[in-house]
Amino acid sequence: MNEEACELCGSPTNVKVRNFKVATPPCLCARCHAVAKRRFNKFRGRKRDRIVDIPTRQDWIDALADAWDETSGCFRCRISRVPLELTNHKSPFYATAEHVAPGKRSEGFWVVAALINDMKSDLDFDEFKKVLPLLAQIALNTDKKTERRQLEQVMRKLRHWRR
């Protein structure tokens, strides 16, 4: 059997993934196949009563392809750029699917570390970039009233906050 290159990481493989319901089954190595076959739960919240869009198989494979760092040979978090953990779901570095806009499939998905995903849950990326430095300044006691006011203003205008 001829070896082909994995479509995500480029390593040699001879496995054609046939159980994925996508137009053209990808050719993936064992490591990438294990991550690509991950299933997602659309039910969120403590009571599991909030439904969010989840990535299709192709959405997830596309996001993984974007997360692959060829130079270091690993998947990286789209936001923090830390190397991702692929097997230990309890790790803060575990690879997760993040909605670019919270709960909406229309703007796509990123692969991010679980910790970052939890931090960004109800923020879009622009809001996240505004909140994080202000929060850091306040937490490090380097803030003045200006930073607190700015943070309050950003928090009052969050587009996706729902509790």
pLDDT lower than 70: segments of the chain: 1-2, 14-25, 44-46, 103-104, 142-143, 161-163
Instruction: Give 39-66 pLDDT, tens digit per residue.
Output: 888 876 667 777 778 898 889 999 999 9
The CA distance from 54 to 52, in Å, is 6
| Element containing residue 95 per DSSP (H, E) | strand 95-101
- Is the overall model pTM greater than 0.85, yes or no? no
Whole-number Å distance between alpha carbons of 51 and 44? 6
Query: What pLDDT sits at residue 23?
Result: 58
Nearest-angstrom CA–CA distance, 103 and 121: 9
